[in-house]
Chains A and B, each alone.
Chain A
Amino acid sequence: MTASPASQSPPAAGVSSGSPIVAGEAILQARRITKQFGGLVAVREVDFDVPAGAIVSLIGPNGAGKTTFFNVIAGLTDPTGGVIDFLGERMVARPVRAWAEPIFWFVLPLPVALLAAIAFGVGAATVGEVVGLVAIGLLVSSLLVAVVRPPGYVHLLRRVGIFRSARPHEIIALGIGRTFQNIRLFQNMTALENVIVGMHTRTRAGLLDAALRLPRHMAEEKESREKARGWLRYVGLRGRDDELARNLPYGDQRRLEIARALASQPKLLLLDEPTAGMNPSETTQMTGLFEQIRSELGITVLLIEHDMRVVMGVSDRVTVLDHGEKIAEGAPDVVRADPRVIEAYLGKGAA
């Protein structure tokens, strides 16, 4: 095992502080998130807040809907209903293209406006008057649609496909980094390259920059390399820069995944069962790293975890899902004592 990460200092170029995040304020707000697969409701009207600067855990027995909920946040599945805001930015049900929604404002009331115009125009009206009526009707009703947003409006746009969740590559650009439950590194790239790929959203060099070796490309390459080395050291991988990811030991692969996620300079880090398959001492080191990421880098952490020791030890706040519904939320001690939680995990007799 490499040296304990506690002795490392964060890389010089750490997290950019874009919009100031006030500790304790919700960085991520999910409201009435529902996800249905046919008749099965995997997640039902879950409200979920992640306070800035906290380590929040999402737990629940198998089949509770944790993974579905996580996938909704990570942009892998569109929820059936509900919204998620991240730092004031809508992540779910947002327009695919900026111009798509305004077009809809006109299309939606068009039949009504037409009918009204024809109804009013019956009689002595000339063609010009009918056209004028249609235009005025359309203008008024589209403004009404845009401002009032009648019931079912968002739902309809979702169904049509004009509104949808932010896609994974957009989500990381917003500032949410993630790791995977079953490690998904780029196996045949070196550790350093893996981390550099993590910086994709924070770098800009394009085709021409690279083809002509323009200063932007050169400067970015150099900077990326240095920063990536810093991140590798930060998570406790020293001297393994040029090792292929596949050749790293299991624990180091987990660390590398975290380094790769950190390289995208996230404000919120989603960790999907990060200590799965680790022995107790590795787990302790790992939870130490989470603490460090939170306290030194100021990154909010959202954990999905099975291991109760990890959850109870490191979390500021725990949310429990069961059968797709939120059954408890609060400080670890409170949740641990909650009879509904005990019942969910151990059965009715235990509660």
Chain B
Amino acid sequence: MTTTRIGLRQRLGPAREFLRGHQSLSITFGMAIAAVVLPLIVLIPPFNGFGTQKDFVGGFADAGVFVLLAIGLNVVVGLAGLLDLGYAAFFAIGAYTMAYGASGYSGLDTPFWIMIVVGAFVAAVFGLLLGAPTLRLRGDYLAIVTLGFGEIVPLVFLNADTYTNGTNGITGIAQPSLYGLAGINGFGFTNPWPYYITVLLIITIATMLVYRLQDSRLGRAWVALREDELAAASMGINTVSTKLLAFAIGASTAGLAGVFYSAKLASITPQQFEFQVSFTALAMVVLGGMGNTWGVILGAFIVYEIQSQGLHQLDAFAKSLHAPPISLGPITLDLSTINFINYQYLLFGLALVLMMLLRPEGLFPSRRRREELHEAAADVEATAEVISQA
């Protein structure tokens, strides 16, 4: 066991070195491969029955929004160790910024490409506003305050109906336009490809930036803060401003995702930004592997696809079985009538509980987290390595 591990590591050594040395290049390359491969999934047997390629690509573009949310939340939770339960608030702020900037409701028509920057900026400002008074709190207290903020923001959008059109939300949000560049005149409901490409580009850039920050003075400061706040302060890290920066960066990513989301849907309502979104994003980060950006991206993608596609297909599959109802005393279990989508949060909870029991570091953990959570296992492994070297 141990020897094969070392052998594999040695064989992959040069490749690892190369990837580490050319991070941005390898991220771009990886994303490009994903961009080409993902739409081809429609050719593979079980999936070809689920929809057309356009359906799939549109779904992937939506998944991209959640991937972005997970990347941003990972900076706050995974790197800086600040538990944020109200992350959807910044998502909502970004989405409404887009809705005000370019829709029939406000009468403005700012180009999407400018709104992306504006939305990220506005969300970051709100991140600072929320963070400045609350980041002195630690752990659970911070979680409660952010939870409150996450509840307040959609409620404000819901009840300030003079400005936000209340429950009906804002409709007629402008689609992005390339002004005829590259032969594309506009992004439309019938053509999800431009959205797909755009969201992949945004994810690529965001991933690159996060990786760069992670290996910088700032990234180390975040990790140090997460590890031991007092020691970090004694090493000269300004705890308040460093945490604020993490918070603002996370918020701006969510804002950016919000802008894209509302442009793609063309209409938004406050109900789309309730606690479930924060919770889902957090579950994505935890399942994917806190602190590891690649893992979090994969985690978000998998969770989103299960939520939006997998459960539907499970429903259809269960119906297609035509299994006879099973009677268990007072309960009758009829597979064909079970609506799995109604149980999605139950399934989510189960998945999280199982995860915490079996693999608390997530599916694709960062090295640090793995060490942290598998102390005993690491000790055993280290001993084994020493023995094998002797």
Contact = CB atoms under 8 A, between A and B. Distances in A.
Contacts of A197: 220-221, 224, 232, 235, 237
Given A200-B221, A207-B245, A169 B238 contact: yes
Interface residues of A, number: 38
B231 A203 contact: no
B218 interface: yes
B372 A188 contact: yes
Given A172-B234, A205-B217, A207-B249, 12 more contacts: A76-B230, A169-B237, A185-B231, A187-B372, A188-B368, A193-B220, A197-B221, A200-B217, A207-B245, A211-B209, A211-B213, A220-B217
B231 A189 contact: no
B216 A205 contact: yes
B335 interface: no
A186 B238 contact: no
Contacts of B232: 186, 197
Interface residues of B, number: 33
A21 interface: no
A276 B386 CA distance: 29
A206 B233 CA distance: 17
A74 interface: yes
A260 B224 CA distance: 12
Contacts of B238: 169
Contacts of B227: 186-189
A211 B237 contact: no
Contacts of B237: 169, 197, 200
A210 B219 contact: yes
B20 interface: no
A255 interface: no
B377 interface: no
B216 A210 contact: yes
The 5 A-B residue pairs with the shortest CB-CB distance in the complex, in nearest-first order: A210-B216, A201-B236, A184-B231, A186-B227, A168-B233
21 contacts: A168-B230, A169-B233, A169-B237, A172-B234, A172-B235, A185-B228, A185-B231, A187-B372, A188-B223, A188-B368, A189-B224, A189-B227, A189-B368, A200-B217, A200-B221, A200-B236, A205-B216, A207-B213, A210-B215, A210-B216, A247-B382
A203 B221 CA distance: 12
Interface hub of A186, A187, A209 (most chain B Cβ within 10 A): A186
A203 B223 CA distance: 17
A35 interface: no
A94 B311 CA distance: 62
A189 B220 contact: yes
Contacts of A189: 220, 223-224, 227, 368
B161 interface: no
Interface string B187-228: 000000000000000000000010011011111110110011
Nearest to A183: B231
A205 B213 CA distance: 11
A217 interface: yes
B224 A169 contact: no
B383 to A, nearest CB: 11
Contacts of B236: 169, 172-173, 200-201, 264
A168 B209 CA distance: 30
A55 to B, nearest CB: 21
Contacts of B217: 200, 203, 205-206, 210, 217, 220
Contacts of B371: 188, 244, 246
Nearest to A195: B235
Interface hub of B216, B223, B230, B232 (most chain A Cβ within 10 A): B216
B291 to A, nearest CB: 10
B171 interface: no
Contacts of B167: none
A174 B330 CA distance: 74
A229 to B, nearest CB: 16
B239 interface: yes
Contacts of B219: 210
A180 interface: yes
Nearest to A202: B236
Contacts of B216: 205, 209-210, 217, 221
Interface string A269-311: 0000000000000000000000000000000000000000000
Contacts of B230: 76, 168, 184
A193 B227 CA distance: 12
Interface hub of B231, B234, B236, B249 (most chain A Cβ within 10 A): B234
A213 B212 contact: yes
Contacts of A207: 213, 218, 245, 249
A13 B115 CA distance: 47
B244 to A, nearest CB: 12
Nearest to B249: A207
A188 B290 CA distance: 14
B20 to A, nearest CB: 13
Nearest to A209: B216
Contact of B234 (A168, A203, A206): A168
A254 interface: no
Interface string A194-226: 001110110101110111010001001100000
Given A187-B227, A198-B235, A264-B235, A210 B372 contact: no
Contact of B224 (A180, A186, A213): A186
A184 B368 contact: no
A34 to B, nearest CB: 24
A107 B369 CA distance: 52
Contacts of B245: 207
Interface string B372-390: 1001001000100000000
A262 B59 CA distance: 54
Contact of A186 (B223, B249, B378): B223
A326 interface: no
Nearest to B228: A184
A206 B212 CA distance: 12
A247 B232 CA distance: 20
A196 B234 contact: no
Contacts of A185: 228, 231
Contacts of A246: 371, 375
B211 to A, nearest CB: 10
Interface in B339-390: 368-369, 371-372, 375, 378, 382
Interface hub of A196, A200, A201 (most chain B Cβ within 10 A): A200
